Amino acid sequence: MRNAHPGLPELDYVKPGSLEEASKFLAAHAGESRPFLGGTDCIVRIRDGAWKPKYLVDVKGLEGTTGISFDPAKGLTIGAAVPMNKVAAHPDVQKHYPLLVEACNWVASYQLRSRATIVGNVCNASPAGDTIGAAICLDGVLNVFGPDGYRKEPLTTFFFGPGKTALKPGDIATSIFFPLPPKESAGKYLKLGRNRLGDLAIVGVTAFAYKDASVASGYRFRIALASVGPTPIRPTAAEEILAKSIDESAVEAAAQAAMDSCTPIDDTRGTARYRKLMIRNLTRQAVSAVLAQLKK
């Protein structure tokens, strides 16, 4: 019988002393090196033979990758190497970005979240990544150091396909920034997995909204769908419906529009048809939950 988990092959662990050194090394060894943080994606993919890097480059602890800082005038910066448990336990994150806390807490188990990072989740670019929807809805921007120095990568244009992003050889995401959420905002993440612990999403729906007197309904929505296409999906047609009205039939129409925007596949977790129907259900539920919070 084939061994599904052949074990870790031999590879070199590289610990650079600076961002410049790390970036130069990664650029010089494009295609045979990989940066890593918690390693919870990297080590599993290497163990299973899906990735075969010669070098694993540990970027934890490099400049800007540690710590969480909150500026009440600007927003929140989370170092790339900060594990999800630390993010979820941080008082400023809990107070101003509860959607991020909720999304982190949906990832696998407490044990895994003591290693796994939001930046690793984002850079891994799995359509099933649980924190990606919240990061998109909260207008997240990656701070990246690359061969040409620092630049910003907004998440709205970051994802190209499973594992494919705007990052190039030599790029290191050092942190993720979230601007201050609009006043009177609320969010909800709903994940459907085969079990509560340690399974990837069959589908996931993130809904975030804030009061906005400039639109007819008085509410502006941002929605992100997980596991129903090669990249996270922002169903803008659904968002536009909710900007016009939030009555029951509008919520139903938005849920239908979210379903229509998906291009899921059949796999071991669920069929494409099941995923589409679940997107409609969870979008209806998530939007209703957000409205209930905002009307309190």
Ligand X SMILES: Cc1cc2nc3c(=O)[nH]c(=O)nc-3n(C[C@H](O)[C@H](O)[C@H](O)COP(=O)(O)OP(=O)(O)OC[C@H]3O[C@@H](n4cnc5c(N)ncnc54)[C@H](O)[C@@H]3O)c2cc1C
Rounded Cα distance between 113 and 105, Å, is 8
Applying CB under 6 A, among 44, 89, 237, 292 the residue interacting with ligand X is 44
Applying CB under 6 A, among 34, 86, 96, 280 the residue interacting with ligand X is 34
Say if CB 179 and CB 139 are below 8 A apart: yes
Using the rule CB under 6 A, is 143 a contact of ligand X? no
Closest CB 117 distance from ligand X, rounded Å:
4
β pairing state of 55-58 and 12-14:
parallel
How many chain residues interact with ligand X (CB under 6 A)?
A: 32
Applying CB under 6 A, among 46, 78, 138, 167 the residue interacting with ligand X is 167
Applying CB under 6 A, among 99, 101, 173, 257 the residue interacting with ligand X is 173
Q: Which tokens in the block code for residue 60? A: 């934890």
DSSP collapsed to 3 states, 78-108? EECCCEHHHHHHCHHHHHHCHHHHHHHHCCC
Using the rule CB under 6 A, is 80 a contact of ligand X? yes
- List binders of ligand X among 205-264 (CB under 6 A): none
β pairing state of 203-211 and 159-161:
unpaired
Using the rule CB under 6 A, is 36 a contact of ligand X? yes
Residue with tokens 């007819």: 216
Using the rule CB under 6 A, is 172 a contact of ligand X? yes
Stretch that binds ligand X, among 120-128, 217-225, 244-252, 253-261 (CB under 6 A): 120-128
Element (H, E) at 67: none
Rounded Cα distance between 283 and 279, Å, is 6
Contacting residues toward ligand X, per CB under 6 A: 34-42, 44, 59, 80, 107-108, 112, 115-117, 119-121, 123-124, 128-130, 167, 171-173, 198, 200
